[in-house]
Amino acid sequence: MFTPDTEVLSSPEVWQGAMAQMFFTLSLGFGVMTAYASYLPDRSDHTHNAVTTSLLNCGFEWIAGVAIFSMLFAFSIQPRASTLSMMFFITPAGIAEMGSVAQVFAIGFWVLLLVAGLTSSISLVEALVSAMHDKFATPRVVTLLGFLVIGAAGSVCFALPHVINSGLQDDGTLGLTLVDLIDHWAFTYGLLIVGLIECLVIGWGLGARKLQTYLNEQSRLRLGGMFVVLIKFVIPAVILVVLVLNIVWLEFDMDVFGVKGLDVDGKPGMFGSSFAPNYDKGEDGAVSSLLTNLHVIALVVWIFGTFGLSCLFTGRKHKEVTA
């Protein structure tokens, strides 16, 4: 971690993964920050809030990275898999090597993971609930119940293929593979695409200079002219280059089902999934057809869903919110 491998900086996947991680951990690109910002007073110091949130987030991630990777390398465990594999397989394997204190750390790890998952889920659901509540004035309880049903149905869909046919399992269940696929395409590509479009809309459509003026009127930290340059030119250019390079890289390093460069134990990752079950197109054409088109489905649903959510917002005022 403290001895970086400069050779990997030439890989588009590394830059894309870093940018996607930044977008995801800061809740950018899927309406969460819009929902939370709508609860703030009209004259909130948005610049100070953004800087504080970014610094705290990066600080905690740095500490977590030191802890996790130190443990993995101490027990000679190679962290060469997806986020889900690291979370549910590789990290627990490292904790299991801790001897007499393994159970204590295991309980602590799963409790913290549960809390992190719950808090993240609350923020994701809040973006949807807030939008529906603002637009259609539906009671929050009714809206929450509606999304609860949708979420439960989606969870069943991920588990159902394995329930119907237990043979759809090799390194991981089909349901876990679908989660991994959607995580890869929605959060890796979807967030960057939405971020790119938002920069173009704000920078060239609404006007980055107007946003800069408004923020400087409310904030102790003044934004200079570089803010406009970043929003209009630098950030869109960087995101676009990373996306294009990754698409080209995928096209040149892809077999029938996925990317050869994302393999685990010699098995190709299926469009970004590191579990890579052995699905044969001849034996189960329906499953193969679903998997080969799922990346397109995930991107379309994510992009249109995010912009549909943004269109629902009407800008809730602070006076309408009770503490």
> Would you say residue 16 lies in a domain?
no
What's the one-letter identity of residue 103? Q
CB 124 within 8 A of CB 32: yes
What CA–CA distances, in Å, run from 167 to 163, 172, 180, 264, 266? 9, 11, 19, 20, 21
Q: Is the alpha carbon torsion for 207, 209, 211, 214 positive or negative?
A: negative
Predicted pLDDT at 256: 32
Three-state DSSP state, 138: coil
Residue 264, strand partner residues = 267
pLDDT band at 56 (very low <50, low <70, confident <90, very high): very high
Predicted pLDDT at 317: 46
Q: Which of 184, 138, 181 is nearest to 16 (CA)?
A: 184
Predicted pLDDT at 235: 96
The pair of structure tokens assigned to 68 is 């996790």
> Would you say residue 6 lies in a domain?
no
Predicted pLDDT at 257: 35
Q: Is the alpha carbon torsion for 6, 9, 10, 14 positive or negative?
A: positive
What CA–CA distances, in Å, run from 27 to 21, 35, 73, 86? 10, 11, 30, 21
**pTM metric for this prediction:** 0.72
CA 162, distance to chain mean position in Å, is 25
User: What does the angle CA 176 – CA 182 – CA 183 come to, to the nearest 5 degrees?
Assistant: 85
111 or 293, greater pLDDT? 111
What CA–CA distances, in Å, run from 201 to 226, 232, 316? 18, 9, 21
Predicted pLDDT at 59: 92
How many folded domains does the chain comprise?
1
Q: What residue numbers bound the domain in which 132 lies?
A: 38-320
> Would you say residue 26 lies in a domain?
no
CA distance 279 to 172: 12
Predicted pLDDT at 204: 94
> Would you say residue 25 lies in a domain?
no
> Would you say residue 177 lies in a domain?
yes
Query: Is the pLDDT at 118 greater than 60, yes or no?
Result: yes
CA distance 300 to 152: 22
